[in-house]
Amino acid sequence: MQKSDVGVAARVASLLEQLLAAPLPLRLQAWDGSVTGPAHGPALIIRSRRALRRVLWQPNEVGLGRAWVAGEIDVDGDLEEGLLRLETIGRDLAARPRLSIAEWADALRVAAALRVVGPPPRPPREEAVLRGATHSKSRDRAAVRHHYDVGNEFYDIVLGPSMAYSCAFWTRPNDPAYTLEDAQRDKLELICRKLGLQPGMRVLDVGCGWGALVIHAAREHGVRAVGITLSEGQAEYARKRAAEAGVAQDVDVRVQDWRDVDDGPFDAIASIGMAEHLGAQMWDEYARTLHDLLTPGGRLLNHQIVRRPGPGRTGRTFITAFVFPDGELLPLGDVVNAIEGADLEVRDVESLREHYPRTLRQWVSNLEGQWARAVELAGAGRARIWRLYMTGSALSFDAGRIGVAQVLAVRRRLDGGSGVPPTRDGWLSVR
């Protein structure tokens, strides 16, 4: 242990160790230059009194998140390892009883001695502030634009040439020549094969992002594709890419809410990484709407991040405050129930959980590799948000707290048939 009797780091560490009843699992470095804690491994850097003031007023991940986004705290060393050690602290603090009056008094004495007592600092400007009824069309539009209208150049850095913002499908994980771009292409092809796309079909992509799927489906499978998004920036980019790919005549990208699509039927519908924005409140209506937009025999492929069964988290989190406002993850069973409740027949469910951490780590590597340019494009706060949320998400997938699943469903034909192949042979090999 590196330990001194004076200094900010030692005082903060002493209070935390008292509450944890255990040694601090990572090094602390404070704004006065003091350091304490294990000599090896990552260090939590507290750059400003404002960081501690934020946590006093908001003693949870939102308070820590605000300090992180503002650059008032940082991790020196491996960020994943730092987050794992911070997670240990948070878990231990959550498991202990509420603070006693004496413990609160100790904390306030330390806060007063460090001169961190005062009014709450203003939240960073990157924090989402939404108004209106939850999941109204106007609020959903604001939520989507908060996340996606960061700038197409910024996303080009993070996502790479595919501009596909969902879990890739790593069919050759041990091949060093196999790239993120290859894995995203294989994911798009997997979706198209599950949907059974054939030339001349009409396909809808709900939440089409920057157009990766509609362009692939039109170019490789000869379909006529409609993509909808609430982001003007995404739509403009997707139209440009469709023209460059020579499929503009077969790709229609619209700025449109899914509730306003009225030109069905479609032979197939894809919903890729979109339903996380819906939450439990809207899923039943969403499933019924997609059912009605499908022709009999038409297929739906829903690709969605899911969580473990049980009660969901309540209150704001770092993700809902800074990344996906109004977003909500559901257990896979709830998603299947909603789809079946809309009279769609579920034919296949596939977990891709192990594919997402690899995708996220590639995105983080892309971001870190062009950090200065990313900060120039989107600002330091926004770049810090993306780095933290993608790194933390990779760890959550590793631990199985969240997963990602593809659910294939069909609107039955009038004769009761589905038209779905009896085995998975048709899409097992995507190359």
Identify whether 131 is part of a domain.
Answer: no
For the chain, give the percent of residues with pLDDT over 70.
97
Residues 98 and 208 in one domain: no
Number of H helices, E strands in the chain: 17, 12
Domain count, the chain: 2
pLDDT per position as a tens digit, 315-373: 889 999 999 999 999 999 999 999 999 999 999 999 999 999 999 999 999 999 999 99
| The pLDDT value given to residue 18 | 79
Identify whether 124 is part of a domain.
Answer: no
Q: Tell me phi and psi for residue 74, to 5 degrees.
A: -155, 170
pLDDT per position as a tens digit, 147-164: 888 889 999 999 999 999
Which of 133, 126, 175, 412 is closest to 296 using CA atoms? 412
pLDDT: which is higher, 96 or 247: 247
| CATH at residue 195 | 3.40.50.150
| The pLDDT value given to residue 346 | 97
Residues 103 and 162 in one domain: no
| The pLDDT value given to residue 1 | 40
For the chain, give the percent of residues with pLDDT over 90.
75
| The pLDDT value given to residue 6 | 66
Residues 61 and 106 in one domain: yes
Please compute the mean of the pLDDT values over residues 252-260 and round it to a whole number. 97
- Answer with the one of 113, 129, 153 that is the final residue of a domain: 113
Residues 269 and 390 in one domain: yes
- Answer with the one of 44, 79, 113 that is the final residue of a domain: 113
| The pLDDT value given to residue 93 | 72
Residues 6+ apart with CB under 8 A from 186: 168, 169, 170, 171, 430, 431
Long-range contacts of range 125-131, CB-CB < 8 Å, 24 or more positions apart?
125/381, 126/69, 126/322, 126/379, 126/381, 126/382, 126/385, 127/66, 127/69, 127/321, 127/322, 128/320, 128/321, 128/322, 128/325, 130/325, 130/326
Q: Give 349-414 as a DSSP string.
A: EEE-TTHHHHHHHHHHHHHHHTHHHHHHHH-HHHHHHHHHHHHHHHHHHHHTSEEEEEEEEEPPPT
**pLDDT at position 187 over 90:** yes
Which of 34, 67, 32, 68 is closest to 50 using CA atoms? 67
**pLDDT at position 249 over 50:** yes
**pLDDT at position 115 over 80:** yes
Please compute the mean of the pLDDT values over residues 210-214 and round it to a whole number. 98
Distance CA 218, CA 251 (A): 7
Please compute the mean of the pLDDT values over residues 188-215 and round it to a whole number. 97
User: What range does the domain containing 272 cover?
Assistant: 137-428
The per-residue pLDDT of the chain, averaged, comes to 92
Between the ranges 112-126, 182-196, 414-428, where is the mean pLDDT highest?
A: 182-196
pLDDT per position as a tens digit, 58-72: 888 899 999 999 999
- Answer with the one of 43, 78, 113 that is the final residue of a domain: 113
Residues 31 and 161 in one domain: no
Residues 398 and 276 in one domain: yes
pLDDT per position as a tens digit, 230-244: 999 999 999 999 999
Residues 396 and 283 in one domain: yes
